[in-house]
Amino acid sequence: MELFDDIIIDIKQLTFSRGNRYIYKDVDIRIPRGKVTAIMGPSGTGKTTLLRLIGGQLKPDSGSILLDGDDIPCLGRSELFDVREKMGMLFQSGALFTDMSVFENVAFPIRVHTKLPEDMVRDVVLMKLQAVGLRGAAQLMPSELSGGMSRRVALARAIALAPALVMYDEPFAGQDPIAMGVLVNLIQKLNQALGHTSIIVSHDIKEALSIADYVYIIADAGVIAQGTPEELQKVDSEQVRQFMMGLPDGPVPFHFPAADITTELMEG
Amino acid sequence: MQPVLDNIALFGRAGLDKVEAVGRSGMILINAIVARPDPVQSFPLLIRQLYSVGVLSMIIIIVSGLFIGMVLALQGYTILVDYGTEQAVGQMVALSLVRELAPVVAALLFAGRAGSALTAEIGLMKATEQLSSMEMIGVDPLRRIIAPRFWAGFISLPILTMIFSAVGVWGAMLVGVEWLGVYEGSFWANMQNSVDFFDDVVNGLIKAQVFGLVVTWVAVFQGYDALPTSEGISQATTKTVVYSSLAILGLDFIMTALMFGDF
């Protein structure tokens, strides 16, 4: 397949569990370089966990996660921090440093990882803020921003060092339609302009499918469907159809497992 | 039989959790201490933390030191005057302060003011994913967040203890000499003759240094290890104050026995 001629991340036989519950069991996922890949699935299936595994913040029980040949779980602490310079991550909450202004937040990775003179740092930061439309908010503090603005500043910070890989954790969750449209547009445009690889974790089907080149649907500790957005529309699986069409009941039941209601009411 | 086995298993798991927590706290401390310092970036961070951990704790230390010195002088005077030895009030206050009260009370106050603030700040940074985002930017939070806070606490507490002692002695002088009329020459001379620099002052400062290490270690670990919820942060803050206070009092007894006990 053409899409997978050049792979940036190759996840093989990944197993990760919490307590007695498998989050992933023998999962294989490949992320094509320079494309937008969406990781979708119902809440609680471990989509954010996958990003944390790729970022090395969690260690799998077994399996490998190769980022350009580096096996993330096997890296030492300092090697891991070196590899992370190739990554940018947009957290669901924005995760801006609350004691720094918008400008200082975006300048933070540049100051830490480069020795650029101050006037050049200023130019780079202003250009990144211009790209997300918030150059005018440079001197505001994070507490003065709306949720959508926080995410755009966090996006500017994530791309500050032009990383090879940008991971988005639920970028559209809780956004009003305008903010959502702005973010969809930004992610797509930045991906095309900067040529980095994007991984979007989301359960906002319409938005994610509109910009994704390839999609993985995750449930039951594994990948239940994968393909391009067009291919997914044709998948003949009740579980995938329930998710894609947002049906309240189906293989993922509406009711949490419980005893029969009549029996329980009579017991009282 | 099964409930008994379950209880034993629960007890064992709780014990293992505690041992694991001690191991984790040790790893955090070692990683924070041995982190390769970058003077250009680390020094301003340390100065900022010295201000928030040390300088901002001074008011409570000065006020407490003043009142404790005044109370000691008042209590000491009422007892000593019965034996006609009220001139020894300066000696009594100074020895009580530099050997015991200044290191212990300053450390307890420090745990309540600075320790709890450190835990809450780090815990909240964890809950709002600021520590995670720092990791993903390729910056080690142990080096950037934990290390400067740890060193600031370690450096601040002995200095705060010295301030506590000095202000306490001054408070005792105000009550003993200015108010109760103890002869000033005897007050200072007795103190000078009885307080030994190495045996009393240095030993007191060694205690303060140990307390500084323990309180700050407990505070940064509890914050870093807190559950990222409002309840988790509240529990971590409480644990900081409780564990630090117990550690201060327990270690004080051990160090007093080693330093001043006649074995």
The minimal CB distance from A84 to the residues B31, B130, B136 is found for B136
Our CA-based measurement puts residue B236 at a distance from the nearest CA of chain A, in whole angstroms, of: 21
Distance CA B99, CA B201 (A): 7
Q: A95 and B133 in contact by Cβ < 8 A?
A: yes
Contacts B138 to A, Cβ<8 Å: 81-82, 84-85, 87, 109, 112-113
Q: Which residue has the tokens 């370690």?
A: B154
Nearest residue in chain B measured CA to CA from A96? B130
Cβ–Cβ under 8 Å, residues B32 and B132 = no
Contacts B135 to A, Cβ<8 Å: 55, 57, 81, 84
Our CA-based measurement puts residue B168 at a distance from the nearest CA of chain A, in whole angstroms, of: 36
Q: A57 and B135 in contact by Cβ < 8 A?
A: yes
Nearest residue in chain B measured CA to CA from A55? B136
Distance CA A247, CA A244 (A): 8
Q: A154 and B133 in contact by Cβ < 8 A?
A: yes
Contacts A93 to B, Cβ<8 Å: 128-129
Structure token digits, residue A80: 């891991």
pLDDT of res. B36: 62
Distance CA B224, CA B167 (A): 35
Mutate to test the interface with A, among B136, B139, B140 (most CBs of A within 10 A): B136
pLDDT of res. A255: 65
Contacts A109 to B, Cβ<8 Å: 137-139
pLDDT of res. A195: 86
Q: B132 and A57 in contact by Cβ < 8 A?
A: yes
Angle at B91 (CA atoms; ends B88, B93), nearest 5 degrees: 105
3-state secondary structure B120-188: HHHHHHHHCCHHHHHHHHCCCHHHHHHHHHHHHHHHHHHHHHHHHHHHHHHHHHHHHHHHCCCCHHHHH
Contacts B41 to A, Cβ<8 Å: 112
pLDDT < 70 stretches in chain B: 35-37, 262-263
How many Cβ pairs closer than 8 A exist between chain A and B? 54
Structure token digits, residue A256: 């949490």
Query: By the CB < 8 Å criterion, does A81 face chain B?
Result: yes
Q: What share of chain B is helix, strand, coil (3-state, %, to 5)?
A: 90, 0, 10
* Residue-level pLDDT, tens digit, chain A, 268 residues: 577 888 899 999 999 998 888 889 999 999 999 899 999 888 778 888 999 999 998 999 999 999 988 899 999 888 888 888 888 888 888 889 998 999 999 999 999 888 889 999 999 999 999 988 889 999 999 999 988 888 889 989 988 888 899 999 988 887 788 878 888 888 888 888 888 899 999 888 888 888 899 999 888 888 888 888 888 888 777 777 777 777 766 666 666 778 888 888 888 6
Contacts A85 to B, Cβ<8 Å: 138
Query: By the CB < 8 Å criterion, does A168 face chain B?
Result: no
Interface of B with A (CB under 8 A): 31, 41, 128-130, 132-140
> Which pTM does this prediction carry?
0.83
pLDDT of res. B207: 96
DSSP state of A248: S
